[in-house]
Amino acid sequence: MIASETTVLISDPLPVVTKQILLEAGLKVIEGVDQLESSLGSISGWILRSGTQITADLLDKAPNLRCICRAGAGVDNIDCDAAAERGVLVMNTPAANSNAAAEHAIGLLFALARNIPQGYAKMCTGGWDRKNLVGVELEGKTLVVIGLGKIGQRVCCKGNGLGMTVLGCDPFVTAADIASVPAQLEELDVALPRADFITLHPPLNDETRGMVDDDFIARCKDGVRIVNVSRGPVVDASALMRGIDSGKVAGAAIDVYDQEPPAEDDPFRSHPGIICTPHLGASTVEAQNNVGIQSAQQIVAFLAEGKVENAVIAPRL
């Protein structure tokens, strides 16, 4: 049973249906990052995307907060340990936008392989330049998928459907875990020298931060192409630039950045060997609706019934 005046903050833009579900459940809703500071003292639930950073200091200002739901998968913008210490449940919606992110990764593979953005840019300025934009085909190539969560597994399936040989790398996954996924589980050291294309889908943590560094690139075959739709800090930007400038890396497609948005003079924006998109992995109508609906439903289920879905970290109190 939800007590009257139980309040949920939605601090990042989400579909109208998100608010509707909460209101229909008898919850009061506050919307907008501009309402964040003034509402902290009254909220019991909090829904956010990647645009809000939940710090320990903010949590200290929210004594009645019982649960947080990240509308999406990544929770690196939430101090989960601080939340747990304060008795706050943290949830996410890991499956809601996984297909959108996987499709974007595949789209970037095509763009990278066939020089599609470069061709478009030339056409827009009156050019043609076919001879300098000869690409490669995906069929018959080896795709290494790093991180075999819901997104990575979908990328494996889609890559296999394109006729690629798919190798999956994830130290926390066994062959039995991905028995239905058309990918061969391999150690990273075995997979990298075989990779024609690499897509990155790991969570951001101390082990994965900066994992694509000079050593990682040195272990790859010459001419590898790299796609990142996970988190920006997984890639050491300077190392990637060195890899491309040396010719070791044939190109990269990047959707996520250390700082978002990246600075106007960020070298990724203008490098001829890098394709950039503005964190579009989950930017589909379907994914936006999915994350909004699931976030609201999970908040309602917890506040009304104590039901926990997709817990990232449980309260310690």
Cα of 292 vs its chain's centroid, Å:
16
CB 112 within 8 A of CB 225: yes
Q: Label the pairing between strands 165-169 and 142-146.
A: parallel
Tokens of 170: 């994830």
CB 59 within 8 A of CB 35: no
CB 67 within 8 A of CB 302: yes
Residue with tokens 């890396």: 249
The radius of gyration of the chain's CA atoms, rounded to the nearest angstrom, is 21
Which 8-state DSSP code applies to residue 192? G
Indicate the burial class of 272 (C-beta count within 10 angstroms; 0-12, 13-18, 19 or more).
exposed
- Residue (of 49, 89, 82, 34) closest to 65 by Cα position: 89
Which 8-state DSSP code applies to residue 307? -
- Residue (of 61, 83, 57) closest to 70 by Cα position: 83
| Residue 183: C-alpha distances to residues 104, 152, 171, 221 (Å) | 19, 10, 15, 20
**Nearest 5°: phi and psi at 295?**
-60, -45
120 bridge partner residues: none
Please identify every residue annotated as catalytic: 231, 260, 279
Which amino acid, 182? Answer: P
Separation between Cα atoms, residue 35 and residue 120, nearest integer Å: 42
Helix (H) or strand (E) holding 267: helix 267-270
